[in-house]
Amino acid sequence: MVTLMGVFPDSSAPSAVADGLSFAPPSKAPLAIVDLGSNSARVVVVEHPIPGVIEVVAEERLDLRLATELDENSRLSERGIATTIDAVGEFAAFAREAGADSIRVVATAAIRSARNRAELLARVHAELGLAIEVLDGSEEAEYAATGALHGLPIRSGVIVDIGGGSTEVARVIAGRIVGAWSFPLGALSASAEWLTEDPPTRKQIKAMRRMVAETLATSAPSGLAESEKLVATGGSARTLARLAQRQAPYPIPRTHGYALEHDTLRDVGAFLAGHSAIERSAIDGVRAGRADSIVGGAIILEEMMRHLGADRLTVASGGIREGLAMRAFGEPVPQPRLVRAVTVESLLRHYRVWDEDDMEARAIRADTLSPDPIEDPFSETLEAARLASMLRALADAGIHPVDALLSEDLAGFDHTMLARVAAILHLIEGDKDAARPFLSLLPGSEKRLLRRCAELLA
């Protein structure tokens, strides 16, 4: 049996994996998570096929904009209640059609703050037979952090989830959540209150910045330790990352794992603030349902970076829904090496190119790169070489390995690791021109070793 190419210590692997990967049927039936947010509502249907992997098999979203359905007395309008009931019913039908065995419905800031939320909960239960679980701010922060970290090679840091009606923050040390906070700073709600002109004036932007900074100064965690990183999740963060990637040629298409610099965020935010909501909605990458809140989201995110003293942040695609799924399946936040190895093997099995003997041979060949790949100072580079060796098997199915690497939603990879693997794969093929954009994302100290790895694996 193959033991994941030696890319993680045996002690870090789940027992089912440590002895070699054997893919039994999922231990639990598909689960549906319905997330009723302040701006949008989503449903995801997830499976837990093997340790370390949460697979989204179906998903859908609706722009409910519940934050705008709260009146001055914090009561949800009848229209807001009716559209929520319709959405939950539609999501439930979608989930059951996708094979979900159970459905969990959660609500966040907008419904949490609604004084008449009991009426909504009662009507949903009476009409649909489903219970809505209203998460408090700390719970929301913890679930968002758990989901964000599942797909990233980060174990310690501050995770920020900017929603439509609130912003949640969690601090994680060595994979364990040690603090959680919630602030009434929503991209949609704050934009509606502070950025009332379209486009907003400089005075309004300055006033909102001051409000956000003062709010964070009261109780938000301050300062990042040298070993900590800032992670941002939520629709605003992903939209801003998508726009930042288009500022210059960039070889990796996905936003998950993208490193967003503070200066780039500032420039993107200023660009968006100079356009009306209608003009923003015409920009490729900005959904119409987010056009009137993205400037507020950019201000909140930029002020959070300033508050923490962060020059850059890493964007995560996972969040509250993935965190809820992980908790439901009893899945802890695994070691990033394990996540990467398992997701790559899952991909190869999906395309029916996984062969035990072949992978054993690839493992032995890759292990000649270092006598102790785990303790080697360039362990991540050597791990990338092993993963590249595995992915080359896709060519047997007529699939270009780099295309699959970049198009598939592989968990556990940030853009640095994706760049390493892609560069090695191109160099193995002798395509230096194709490798160059990926090498440009890596430190110079690694490039010579990457080329050497490619030579040995060619």
User: Which residue, among 123, 142, 52, has the nearest Cα to 83 in the 3D structure?
Assistant: 123
Gap between the Cα atoms of 67 and 86, Å rounded: 17
Q: Residue 124 in contact with residue 80, Cβ under 8 Å?
A: no
- Six-digit token string for 322: 């993935």
Gap between the Cα atoms of 119 and 125, Å rounded: 10
Residues making up the chain, counted from first to last:
458
Q: Residue 110 in contact with residue 116, Cβ under 8 Å?
A: no
What integer pLDDT is reported at residue 178 of this predicted model? 94
Other CB atoms within 10 Å distance of the CB of residue 8: 23
Which pTM was predicted?
0.85
**DSSP letter at 98?**
T
Q: With H, G, I as helix, E, B as strand and everything else as coil, classify residue 21.
A: coil
**DSSP letter at 28?**
S
Q: With H, G, I as helix, E, B as strand and everything else as coil, classify residue 39.
A: coil
What integer pLDDT is reported at residue 372 of this predicted model? 55
Q: Residue 162 in contact with residue 236, Cβ under 8 Å?
A: yes
Gap between the Cα atoms of 279 and 273, Å rounded: 10
Gap between the Cα atoms of 414 and 141, Å rounded: 22
Query: In this structure, which amino acid lies at residue 100?
Result: A
Beta carbons within 8 Å of 221's beta carbon, 6+ residues apart: 158, 169, 171, 179, 181, 308
Handedness of CA 256, 258, 264, 266 (dihedral sign): positive
User: Which residue, among 331, 413, 340, 348, has the nearest Cα to 6 in the 3D structure?
Assistant: 340
Residues linked to residue 162 through DSSP beta bridges, in sequence order: 167
From first to last of its 458 residues, what are the pLDDT tens digits of the chain?
222 222 323 333 332 222 233 333 444 689 999 999 999 999 999 988 766 677 888 999 999 999 999 999 999 999 999 999 999 999 999 999 999 989 999 999 999 999 999 999 999 999 999 999 999 999 999 999 999 988 788 889 999 999 999 999 999 998 899 999 999 999 999 999 999 999 999 999 999 999 999 999 998 888 899 889 999 999 999 999 999 999 888 999 999 999 999 999 999 999 999 999 999 999 999 998 899 999 999 999 999 999 999 999 999 998 999 999 988 887 666 677 888 888 898 889 888 888 888 887 877 777 777 655 555 556 888 889 999 999 999 988 899 999 999 998 888 899 999 999 999 999 999 999 999 999 999 988 888 889 988 988 88
DSSP states of 231-245 as a string?
Answer: EEESHHHHHHHHHHH
What integer pLDDT is reported at residue 326 of this predicted model? 86
Residue matched to tokens 């995801």:
44
Q: Residue 75 in contact with residue 295, Cβ under 8 Å?
A: no
Q: Residue 132 in contact with residue 121, Cβ under 8 Å?
A: yes
Gap between the Cα atoms of 217 and 168, Å rounded: 15
* Number of alpha helices (DSSP H) and beta strands (DSSP E) in the chain: 19, 11
How many C-alpha atoms does 393 have within 13 Å on its Cβ side?
A: 25
What integer pLDDT is reported at residue 150 of this predicted model? 80
DSSP states of 160-229 as a string?
Answer: EEE-SS-EEEEEEETTEEEEEEEES--HHHHHHHH--SSSPPHHHHHHHHHHHHHHHHHHS-----TT-E
